[in-house]
Amino acid sequence: MSVALPQIHMQQLMLRYPTGKTAISGVTLDIPQGQFVYLVGESGAGKSSLMRMLYGGVRPSSGRLMVQGSDMRRAGDAKVRELRRHTGIIFQDHRLLFARTVFENVALPLRVQGWKTERLVPRVRKVLAYVGLADRLWSYPEALSGGEQQRVAIARAMTANPAMIIADEPTGNLDIDTARRVLDYLTDLNRQGTTIIMATHDLHLLESHPGRVVELHAGRLIADSYSAQPKSDT
């Protein structure tokens, strides 16, 4: 439903938290629509901080950040809201609502966007069928395995058909095989045109699921596989 380009443009981007900690400094980076980008770097390198800026969770302190045509330093509430509606977020700790069923968790983004029940129910069923959880609609997340929970999180992130998905270590606490399955879904979505930006520590995933690798170190950009081979793709 979105026609906005998820073109991300960063120039001399800097983020300093109110505590005085500079999490990101001097990052210049462009991400065209439809790319699969791995964000790697040691713990505390600033991966999460960078992603937070992409959906307006925090505002850049200086530099330039354009996301889907919005200047994130100046974007008003309405702009940020609009952007978030076209962005799927997957958290490392998946952040499913344990008081709600799988169905309700996945339906949440659609509810937020005001979808009518008649449209919403088939869409949620379809998305859950896609991640192989069609028979767990009315389970509570508690009753699911870690891998299944992460798949619910993916379903929730993709249900509103976002132009880009931001995934912060979505395979953080999964074994290799389960992690690969989760990645299969993301690469499949990417093939359908969704931009994926994923922070990870699991470098071995790159072998089976190649993509552009952007490496951060202490808040600075130190390596980018895209600039080395500009036509890289999945």
Ligand X SMILES: Nc1ncnc2c1ncn2[C@@H]1O[C@H](COP(=O)(O)OP(=O)(O)OP(=O)(O)O)[C@@H](O)[C@H]1O
What does the binding site for Mg ion look like in residue numbers (CB under 5 A)?
Answer: 48
**End-to-end alpha carbon distance in the chain:** 24
Q: Which residues of the chain form contacts with another protein (CB under 8 A)?
A: 17, 52, 55, 57-58, 77, 80-85, 87, 89, 95, 97, 99-101, 103-104, 107-109, 111-114, 117-118, 121, 134-138, 160
Comparison of 52 and 151: residue with beta carbon closer to Mg ion:
52
The correct pick among 6, 41, 88, 141 for binding ligand X (CB under 6 A) is 41
As a whole number of angstroms, the distance between CA 180 and CA 186 comes to 10
As a whole number of angstroms, the distance between CA 132 and CA 18 comes to 42
Comparison of 139 and 234: residue with beta carbon closer to another protein:
139
Fill in the per-residue mask, 47 to 66: x = in contact with ligand X (CB under 6 A), - = not in contact: xxx-----------------
Q: Examine residue 21 and tell whether it contacts ligand X (CB under 6 A).
A: yes
Q: What is the DSSP letter of 222?
A: E
| Residue 83 binds which entry of ligand X, another protein, Mg ion, none, CB below 5-8 Å type-dependent | another protein
Of all residues in the chain, what percent are helix, strand and coil, respectively (each to 5)? 35, 25, 40
| Residue 45 binds which entry of ligand X, Mg ion, another protein, none, CB below 5-8 Å type-dependent | ligand X
DSSP string, 71-128: ETTT--HHHHHHHHHTEEEE-TT----TTS-HHHHHHHHHHHTT--HHHHHHHHHHHH
Comparison of 85 and 217: residue with beta carbon closer to another protein:
85
3-state secondary structure of 23: strand
Shortest CB 133 distance to Mg ion, Å: 26
Shortest CB 53 distance to Mg ion, Å: 13
Residue 231 Cα distances to 42, 141, 162, 209, 227, angstroms? 27, 40, 24, 16, 9
Comparison of 79 and 180: residue with beta carbon closer to another protein:
79
| Residue 85 binds which entry of Mg ion, ligand X, another protein, none, CB below 5-8 Å type-dependent | another protein
As a whole number of angstroms, the distance between CA 196 and CA 14 comes to 22
Site residues (CB under 6 A) for ligand X?
17, 19, 21, 23, 41, 43-49
